[in-house]
A and B are shown apart, each in its own frame.
Chain A
């Protein structure tokens, strides 16, 4: 079983990772050639406005002092104040975006799994058969398709031609659940299809490897139904390789969401980040990077816990 001690220790490991990410991002935005205030306000800003901005963000203090202040703030859950967004606190700007992004991650992954698991199993069970060929082609195409292109193709088909679904936007589920779901469909398909491609590939390979092992032969030899052999014996062990891929993929997925959210005007973390980069609202960018890193690390933690749950031989001490 997963011991509480292990989870606690893994949680402790999260802290240095976030610390390093935060520190790198902090200094990265301060070694930028040029004056951050000038960068933020543009070339035609008056000296008074520049001085005011520097004072407001403490840019007139030594770098180490700025860092200490920033770090102290982060520890208290204060990521600073946005330069735009009505001068709200960065935390308040970003927090509502998290569930919006997570929703895409969760639904996208669910869709990908619903597609990839049956296809992967079918492909492995009858290797080199028709379904296997189909799975290979799907995987290869999915591997090479840019998500932004897929999104545009889907929009052209479902929004412009068939007029079934909106091309982009967001309605809160509190406001109108049905509408909310309609807006959700295309982004989820975009995210899911591309993820499914690599999942199929790995699940098939993992499944094939397991199907060749002795215990599967034993299971067959003792007269178990093929269904039981595949779903009861083989699948469970292939899930371990699937979880690994899932973990690494979700990292790429979170990164890729920046683009998907942008296309579908989906107001999540990625969208906010791009907007903030464009308007040089670096406090928000820093915060967004930290949040995404936190998400990433949490997912990795969950993956590691899943390992232990799936394979009792794995111990973390």
Chain B
């Protein structure tokens, strides 16, 4: 695809450079935001001024006097709770992506490589899964299995399986007939070896983009489930749950729900920024177009 507005080669070049420069900055911003979040939540026991599960002061204390964001409805420090909740949210997100990749990747490999009946069975079931709104599917799964951290990870991961299997399948299809794969086969490599050693590494770049985007969706979904009261259970803090409790007291402490939601927002935003940057970096085609 050619560039969009041609106002002479010089301007186009200049524009492209500007764009690349700006794009890089956006990615760096995403990485910086996410890195900060990761460090802050990992080091929560060191950073948090108060324990997340003990009363630290009066209920709904406004920000100040040692309480950076104030206290919650029973007097626990909000800032500390947001830090600790981040560990759960990021953990669930990462776990869900692991489930999605762990199940989706082999399915996609088999589907794309062997084709035929395997392909149609796997892809039709993926279509079935995909035909359902993600949050609804996660909701139903949690309703059936019951809310626990493990089940929530399974539910959110399951929802994202089709995206990964389709993506991998498409890459496998693109590489299956290529000469280097033929060469590997001619040299007597087994199907398993061809799949894992020859083809798989080539499928990884588009996966990294999906990885970050799915991570973002997983964090959103977990917060959504917990917000509905069908996710993480108290006393474990989670952003979604804090949003829900915060909503009930927002007339008295508006910062409470706003801060909890901002945590989700910043996480998702940083992951989306990284994903966008990766996509541009990996796909030179799109680079010039947008």
Q: Which A residues lie at the B interface, using CB under 8 A?
A: 17, 20-21, 25, 28-29, 31-32, 126-128, 140-141, 143-146, 148-149, 152-153, 155-156, 160, 205, 208-209, 211-212, 251-256, 258-259, 262-263, 273-274, 277-278, 285, 289, 292-293, 296-297
State how many angstroms separate the Cβ of A17 from the closest Cβ of chain B. Answer: 7
Provide the bound-state CA to CA distance between A165 and B181, in Å: 63
Residues of B within 8 A of A28 (CB): 140, 144
B254 engages A259 (CB within 8 Å): no
Contact with A along B216-259 (1 / 0, CB 8 A): 10001001100111100000000010010011001100100110
Q: Among B131, B135, B269, which residue has its beta carbon within 8 angstroms of that of A256?
A: B135
Provide the bound-state CA to CA distance between A49 and B257, in Å: 42
Known: A17-B131, A256-B133, A274-B228. A152 touches B1 (CB 8 A): no
Q: Could you say which interface size class chain B belongs to? A: 35 or more
Known: A146-B264, A263-B247. A255 touches B133 (CB 8 A): yes
B136 engages A146 (CB within 8 Å): no
Provide the bound-state CA to CA distance between A273 and B269, in Å: 29
Residues of B within 8 A of A143 (CB): 268, 272
For the complex with contacts A31-B144, A143-B268, A145-B265, 16 further pairs of A-B residues with Cβ separation under 8 Å are: A20-B128, A28-B144, A127-B4, A128-B4, A128-B15, A148-B224, A149-B243, A149-B258, A152-B246, A152-B258, A156-B254, A252-B135, A258-B139, A262-B228, A263-B247, A273-B139
Tell me the interface secondary structure of chain B in the complex. helix
Q: Write the chain A residue with the least CB distance to B2.
A: A212
State how many angstroms separate the Cβ of B7 from the closest Cβ of chain A. Answer: 10
**For the complex, is B289 an interface residue (Cβ under 8 Å from A)?**
yes
Residues of A within 8 A of B140 (CB): 25, 28, 285, 289
Residues of A within 8 A of B1 (CB): 209, 212
> B61-102: which residues lie under 8 A (CB-CB) from chain A?
none
Residues of B within 8 A of A273 (CB): 139
State how many angstroms separate the Cβ of A16 from the closest Cβ of chain B. Answer: 10
Q: Write the chain A residue with the least CB distance to B144.
A: A28
B230 engages A274 (CB within 8 Å): yes
Residues of A within 8 A of B273 (CB): 140
Most chain-B Cβ atoms within 10 A of its Cβ — which of A126, A156, A209, A292?
A: A156
A149 engages B4 (CB within 8 Å): no
Provide the bound-state CA to CA distance between A293 and B128, in Å: 11
Most chain-B Cβ atoms within 10 A of its Cβ — which of A21, A143, A146, A258?
A: A146
Provide the bound-state CA to CA distance between A209 and B3, in Å: 10
B258 engages A144 (CB within 8 Å): no
State how many angstroms separate the Cβ of A95 from the closest Cβ of chain B. Answer: 19
B131 engages A258 (CB within 8 Å): no
Known: A143-B272, A152-B258, A277-B139. A292 touches B131 (CB 8 A): no
Provide the bound-state CA to CA distance between A262 and B240, in Å: 13
Known: A17-B131, A20-B128, A156-B254. A212 touches B224 (CB 8 A): no
B257 engages A152 (CB within 8 Å): yes
Q: Write the chain B residue with the least CB distance to A147.
A: B224
**For the complex, is B261 an interface residue (Cβ under 8 Å from A)?**
yes
B224 engages A254 (CB within 8 Å): no
Contact with A along B190-221 (1 / 0, CB 8 A): 00000000000000000000000000100010
Q: Among A32, A128, A145, A153, which residue has its beta carbon within 8 angstroms of that of B144?
A: A32
Provide the bound-state CA to CA distance between A32 and B144, in Å: 6
B250 engages A152 (CB within 8 Å): yes
Residues of B within 8 A of A155 (CB): 250
Known: A148-B224, A211-B4. A205 touches B132 (CB 8 A): no
A146 engages B258 (CB within 8 Å): no
Contact with A along B115-150 (1 / 0, CB 8 A): 000000000000010011111110110011110000
Provide the bound-state CA to CA distance between A96 and B22, in Å: 51
B4 engages A153 (CB within 8 Å): no
